[in-house]
Amino acid sequence: MSAMNTPIEALQIRRREAIASHPRRAVRICCTGCRALGALEVHAAFEAELAAAGLTRDVALIKTGCQGVCAGAPVIGIDPEGILYLGARPEDVPEIVRTTLLGGNVVERLCFRGADGPLPKRSAIPFFAAQNQIVLDRCGRIDPTRIESALAAGAYAMLEQALTTMDPEAVIRAITASGLRGRGGAGFPTGRKWGFARAAAGDVKYLVCNADEGDPGAFMDRAVIEGDPHAVLEGMLIAAYAIGARHGYVYVRAEYPIAIEHLHIAITQAREWGLLGGNILGLGMDFDVAIKAGAGAFVCGEETALLASIEGKRGQPRPRPPFPAQSGLWGKPTNINNVETLANVPAILRMGAERYAGMGTPTSKGTKIFALAGKVAHTGLVEAPMGVTLRELVYGIGGGVRKGRAFKAAQMGGPSGGCVPARYLDLPIDYESVKEVGAIMGSGGLIILDENTCMVDIARYFMDFCAKESCGKCAPCRIGTTRMLEILQRICAGEGQPQDVDKLEALAYQVKKNSLCGLGQTAANPVLSTLRHFREEYMEHIALKQCRASVCSGLMESPCSHACPAGVDVPDYLTLAAEDRYAEALAVVQMRNPLASVCGRVCDHPCEHRCRRGDMDEPLGIRDIKRFVTDTVAAPWRPPEPWSERETQRRVAVIGAGPAGLSCAYFLRFFGHRVTIFESLPEPGGMLRVGIPAYRLPVERLKLDIDFILSTGVELKLNAPVENLDALFDAGYEAVFLGVGAHESAPLKGIDTAAPGVLDGVRFLRDVTFGKVSGPLGRTAVIGGGNVAIDAARSALRLGAEVTVVYRRTRAEMPAYPEEIEAAEHEGIALVFLAQPTGVVDDHGRVTALRCVRMEPGAADASGRRQPVARTDSAFQIPCDTVISAVGQKVAARDAWGLRLTPHGTYETDPAALATSRDRVFAGGDCVRGPSSVVQAIGDGQRAAGSIDKLFGGTGKLPDNLKLSRSRYAAQSEEPATRPRPPLAALAGRTASFDEVVATLGDGAARCEARRCLRCDLEKTCQ
Amino acid sequence: MSISECTDKPLDLSPVAAMVADRAPFSEGDVIDALQDMQTRYGYLPRAAMDEMARLSGVPVARLYGVATFYSQFHLQPHGRHAVRVCRGTACHVRGAAGILSAISRHLGIEDGDTTPDMQFSIESVACLGTCFLAPVMLVDDQYYGNLTSDKAVATLKRIQARDGAPNAAAQPAAQKGSAPCPP
Ligand code: FES
């Protein structure tokens, strides 16, 4: 520095030098967050490789902070091309140097995977496209440990501007005008806060930066400090200038060692450069900063507790007023802002308060940094304007929910916040809107929860956290959180009492009202918000001992068997299959599910959706293994070993020989009761027989299961419709089970299935079964997106039709099984999405076309699904000769039975016992649930059999599962492995017959697949 | 854990003087910093050193204990040479942190909060490590490990055990999952 230059001139010279030496060719590696996946090793590999290639001088190798797409750690940026590589290992580095740095080509395997292939350029990646990075501008670009790097990118320019061109009041006015609100949670206007501190009497004032990011699941502050500590220091300097503080503290969590290190380096360098200390930039301002490392206490995020901690005391809060602005650290006026708030300050001065205030919503201005974590595909650090919707964050930026699962809620605001359910996916996020739906913005932690997350468990988790972190000073918080935790633990353990939910709610309001500080006042929020949006999950835990997400280990042995409505002991039979003990494996299945062959083929396998292995690579092919077992063990099958020899002589009538009725009959026999099934059709099986085409479920396989059930002594009457329940009771039956299914098609406006050429999907499938479809179908349009629609389409194809499926929503929303949709497409069926049929065009009684309008996704409904709405002037026609309407099924309820119906036209039952409104009459399956799955029906039949046994004075309890494979299978491994796909029949010829399409797994493949089971059930017994 | 402090070697208290002198004039505001130094030096807060600090600084020993017992970072008992901090934060919780913690505690044969008898490891669950994007996560000393599975977490500890040449490197795999190769 020449003696002639003023400090400001010197700074400007150094800035120019830094810019001039700024390299064009650069490799930037995130070496903060990405360290957890080996970023430092990758950096070392680059160092060696660049040296070996003689590139050390030409390529700048920069260790940066967070680059945002953290799910792809370690993240490497290559400039000037703007290429981004994700997940590289040290072994990949030579190839990157060779191919990209020397060869100018892209290593595709390391690129971000877009919907249509790899996206090498950062700017093309949707994760970034929807963001607006103002505060994070330098984060991930600069080397945070070199002040030159920050200066070259503009750091401290706004400090210079503020000190030279603005007086403190002007700075406060600008911040007020920008509309900046505290980013730490409460959202208090920052300009006003500064105004109070400035106005407070006294010449010693303190400025504190709160970097105690205590919300578990939030990492914005960590990322900002590690990636651009100078932004925080510059913000502090400007704030200190505005309020007149000479001493500053940064209170950082001890769990953030890299943040502490980077901040320490930044402070030291800023001092060396005259940016901290006395007479800053020669302009007479004095300000210095000290770091205080927290010592692990969540309550220290609360202002007054934080101050107590800086004073070296126990971090206990005290009542306010006096507010810290009047009496804070050591009784002096103190201004506290969080990291992100302060990092916003230079950005506001840079872009001007007005432009800044132009972003966001009426009450919340500017941008917000979100820490996207949990069950979202692309976790990471995101900065978006206030008012961004959850849908944009989760689906646009975040790439959707991991593993294609369903979104359940977003947890916002940590232990003080709440869960925002799917129905609010389109809510513009700002301080007020989030509060209205029962959560808080908090510091911006956004944890995405999917269908495999239990909301009661989440409430229990947060209460456990708050009870542990309660500082104990006030009784409502100390005792209230403990009591609430006890209740939640009880519910999760399956010991919940019916009155627990009300008790919990009452306690929650008390704790909220009477606690001393923010921790206690907000501790009940997670409970209240889950009660508000997910009350039915609490009820299921208490009344049904059911955790729909298969999380609460106290309620279950393993997630898969808990998810199975029939409760099949999945891990046991998988292990038996792995040990070639197939007959025993089949017996284990048949202990809970008599339709094993059927479920091996057409089950919607809820077990696989909850399989823990699915979080590692792929869920177990549980259904395929079941099929393999049933196809391997020679029939006829005998009932499993603990079959009761008891005969009670009590008679039960089962109406309907579908899966619910068959299952109920089988389990009634288990209890020793006498059963007669009345079936109105000429053959048993219900929908399995007349709804599911033979190419998916061959008749012989169905017959095998039915014969097995009948072999236990069930009497079956075919062509025997029941008109009157009284007649059954008169005939000596003591209880009745209804499993009549939902065999009627739901109507669709504008489509008259009585007209010639227009068919009803359910009836069509029944006619196909009995060979009653007459005449050629020609070009056929099938309306609907469910399994019936796809079954009808593929059946029509096999009868020689040329088929188009018309669905009013998008492909992703089709309720049909994905593998069925894929197969349909593969067989040559055309799919038309976002089209709503409005009528049929006919020419003298002959169908010529289906009239449709185009749809587009509109506002979300309660489940978060966007309701399709018609686009104006979008009418079009699909030429066709036949129309099949398959938009849903309903129950053909019989008034003569005198049973109460639900508003949906199904039979009303109580969920625990499945008893209808009439004494001794039970019901289950589709006629209770509406169109549902086979295994649900089987589960219902089983449950109703238990209820009927209880009615007869029995226990209603089935014998325990067999547990034949007590030993842990030794060969299991967490090594990533893909699951085998069962072979399919060749396409040629496949569509000309109703022969089965999917084949059985080979025994090697089945055995190997079964070995991937993690045996979560033993995990639990071992604990 | 009940590890007697009366080992054969008496505790060297001389570093305490510097902890106080470096902060002269020592005030209450320095207590947390000073205790952090002490813990770095001794691995925990030995009773004798606390007494010594109280004597030299004039801060009542009850004050020091009040602070030390309030914050979860401080330990009054000796801790293992390696601190295994397993995150139990929200993001880690929903992505299976409980399984990681139980695999680690099974492998080491100790519970959360305890230290192995050979003083090699302590397990400590923490609220969040700020690495939520790679959940589940653990921090062993100052090295982060992300995207963990039970196998990966245990393998990491085994590597450290092997590196340290600990005698029990592969010992007592208490009810640990088998990882034998697939039989033909
Ligand atoms: S929740 Fe585990 S690191 Fe944040």
Helix residue spans in A636-734 (DSSP H): 659-670, 687-690, 699-710, 725-730
| Rounded average pLDDT over A540-568 | 94
The alpha carbon of A218 and the centre of ligand 1 are apart by a number of angstroms equal to: 7
User: Residue A968 — very low, low, confident or very high, per pLDDT cuts 50/70/90?
Assistant: low
Three-class secondary structure of residue A61 per DSSP: strand
Where a domain ends, among B50, B70, B90? B70
Is B179 inside any structural domain? Answer: no
Give the pLDDT confidence of A869-883 residue by residue, as tens digits.
999 999 999 999 999
Q: Residues B64, B92: one domain?
A: no
B42/B65 same-domain check? yes
Using an 8 Å Cβ cutoff, are A686 and A661 in contact?
A: yes
| Nearest CA distance, A778 vs chain B (angstrom) | 51
Residues of A in contact with B127 (CB under 8 A): 214, 216, 255, 298, 465, 469
The whole-angstrom distance between B1's CA and the closest CA on chain A is: 21
Contacts of A375 in chain B (CB under 8 A): 94-95
pLDDT of A564 > 70? The answer is yes
Question: Chain A within 8 Å of B177 (Cβ-Cβ)?
Answer: yes
Query: What does the pLDDT read at residue A860?
Result: 84
Query: Among partner residues A298, A374, A1011, which is closest to B127 by beta-carbon distance?
Result: A298
Q: Which of A216, A972, A1019 sits opposite B90 (nearest CB)?
A: A216
Residue B177 lies in a domain: no
pLDDT at A4: 66
Higher pLDDT: A946 or A844? It is A946
Task: Check whether A1021 has a pLDDT greater than 70.
Answer: no
Contacting A residues, span 428-457, partner chain B, CB-CB under 8 Å = 445, 447, 449, 453
The strand order across the sheet containing A83-86 reads A60-64, A26-30, A75-79, A83-86
Q: Are residues B17 and B91 in the same domain?
A: no
Q: What is the model's pTM?
A: 0.89
| Same structural domain, B90 and B44 | no
Q: Per mean pLDDT, which range of A20-34, A656-670, A940-954 is the poorest?
A: A20-34
Instruction: Report, as an integer, the average pLDDT of A599-607.
Output: 96
The region that residue A84 occupies, defined by phi over 0 for left and psi between -120 and 50 for alpha, beta otherwise, is beta
- Per-residue confidence (pLDDT) for residue A231, from 0 to 100: 97
| B94 domain residue, yes or no | yes
3-state SS assignment for residue A398: coil
CA distance A726 to A600: 38
Q: B151 in a domain, yes or no?
A: yes
The domain boundary residue, chosen from B70, B92, B109: B70
Q: Is the pLDDT of residue A40 over 90?
A: yes
Q: Determine whether the interchain pair A216/B66 forms a contact, defined as Cβ–Cβ distance below 8 Å.
A: no
Whole-number pLDDT of residue A1020? 52
Cα B132 to ligand 1 centroid, rounded to whole Å: 4
pLDDT tens-digit map of A627-668? 999 999 998 999 988 888 889 999 999 999 999 999 999 999
Q: Which of A215, A447, A463, A492 to mutate to test the interface with B (most CBs of B within 10 A)?
A: A447
Confidence at residue B107, expressed as pLDDT on a 0 to 100 scale: 94
Nearest to A783 by CA among A761, A798, A765: A761
Domain co-membership, B24 together with B100: no
pLDDT band at B178 (very low <50, low <70, confident <90, very high): very low
Query: Cβ of A414 under 8 Å from any chain B Cβ?
Result: yes
pLDDT, tens digit, 9 for 90 and up, residues A833-856: 999 999 999 998 899 999 999 999
Cβ atoms within 10 Å of A741's Cβ, excluding its own:
27
Do B55 and B88 lie in one domain? The reply is no
* Domain co-membership, B62 together with B90: no
The confidence band for A18, taking pLDDT boundaries of 50, 70 and 90, is confident
Asked if A974 and B126 come within 8 Å (Cβ–Cβ), the reply is no
Between helix A257-272 and helix A229-243 the angle, nearest 10°, is 60
Predicted confidence (pLDDT) at residue B7 exceeds the cutoff of 80:
no
Taking 80 as the threshold, does the pLDDT of residue A955 lie above it?
Answer: yes
Q: Residues of chain A with pLDDT > 70: what percent?
A: 98
Whether residue B142 is contained in a domain is answered as yes
B92 and B145 fall within a common domain: yes
Residue B182 lies in a domain: no
Domains in chain A (CATH in brackets) are: 7-124 (3.40.30.10), 147-357 (3.40.50.11540), 367-554 (3.10.20.600), 559-637+963-1019 (1.10.1060), 641-742+891-951 (3.50.50.60), 744-890 (3.50.50.60)
Residue A603 has pLDDT above 70, yes or no: yes
pLDDT class of A248 with cuts at 50, 70, 90: very high
Average pLDDT, stretch A128-139? 92
Query: How far, in Å, from the CA of B87 to the mean position of ligand 1?
Result: 6
Distance B96 CA to ligand 1 centre (A): 11
Contacts of A970 in chain B (CB under 8 A): 178, 180
Residue A382 sits at the chain B interface (C-beta within 8 Å):
no
Residue B125 in any domain: the answer is yes
A61 touches chain B (CB under 8 A): no
> In terms of domains, do B109 and B42 share one?
no
Chain B stretch 40-59, residues whose beta carbon is closer than 8 A to a beta carbon of chain A: none
Mutating which of A313, A339, A378, A972 best tests the B interface, going by the most B Cβ atoms within 10 A? A313
Per-residue pLDDT at B2: 39
Are B167 and B91 members of one domain?
Answer: yes
Residue of A nearest to B104 (CA): A1023
Write out chain A residues lying below 8 Å of B102, CB-based.
Answer: 1019, 1023
Chain A contact set for B180 (CB, 8 A): 970-971
Domain's final residue, options B31, B50, B70: B70
Asked if A151 and A145 count as a contact pair (C-beta separation under 8 A), the reply is no
Residue from B87, B139, B140, B144 whose mutation best tests the ligand 1 pocket (most atoms within 8 A of CB)? B87
Of A411, A465, A974, the CB nearest to B149: A974
More confident residue, A724 or A774: A724
Average pLDDT value over all residues in chain A: 92
Residue B144: list chain A partners with CB under 8 A.
35-36
User: Is residue B34 assigned to a domain?
Assistant: yes
**Alpha-carbon gap, residue A186 to A36, rounded angstroms:** 32
What's the confidence (pLDDT) of residue A764? 96
If asked whether residues B112 and B51 sit together in one domain, one would say no
**Span B45-59, mean pLDDT?**
94
Regarding the beta carbon of B138 and ligand 1, being less than 6 Å apart is answered no
Residue A1017 reports pLDDT greater than 60: yes
Give ∠ CA A572-A574-A579 in degrees, rounded to 5: 95
Are B96 and B163 within one domain? yes
State the pLDDT at residue A969: 53
B87 lines ligand 1 (CB under 6 A): yes
Strands in A778-929 per DSSP E: 779-783, 802-806, 830-832, 835-843, 846-860, 866-870, 876-879, 882-885, 889-890, 921-923
Does the beta carbon of A216 lie inside 6 Å of ligand 1?
A: yes
Average pLDDT, chain B: 84
Q: Is the pLDDT of residue A768 over 90?
A: yes
pLDDT digits (tens, 9 = 90+) for A523-533: 999 999 999 99
**CB of B132 sitting under 6 A from ligand 1:** yes
Identify the pLDDT of residue B176. Answer: 37
Q: Which residue range forms the structural domain that includes residue B159?
A: 82-171
A873-913 pLDDT tens trace: 999 999 999 999 999 888 887 877 889 999 989 999 998 99
Contact criterion met (CB < 8 Å) for B93 and A461 = yes
For residues A465 and A484, the answer to whether their CB atoms sit within 8 Å is no
CATH number, domain containing residue B155: 3.40.30.10
**Average of pLDDT values for A438-466?**
93
Asked if residue A972 has pLDDT above 70, the reply is: no
Give the total number of structural domains in chain B.
2
Q: Which tens digit of pLDDT belongs to each residue from A676-708?
A: 999 999 999 999 999 999 999 999 999 999 999
CA distance A1004 to A1011: 11
Please report residues of B whose CB lies closer than 8 A to that of A380.
133
| A380 interfacial to chain B (CB closer than 8 Å) | yes
pLDDT-based confidence at residue B169 (cuts at 50, 70, 90) = very low
In this prediction, residue A966 carries a pLDDT of: 62
Residue A944 has pLDDT above 70, yes or no: yes
- Region B59-69: mean pLDDT is 92
Can you tell me the distance from the alpha carbon of A213 to that of A338, in angstroms, rounded to the nearest whole number?
A: 9
Mean pLDDT in residue range A316-345: 92
Q: Does A266 score more than 70 pLDDT?
A: yes
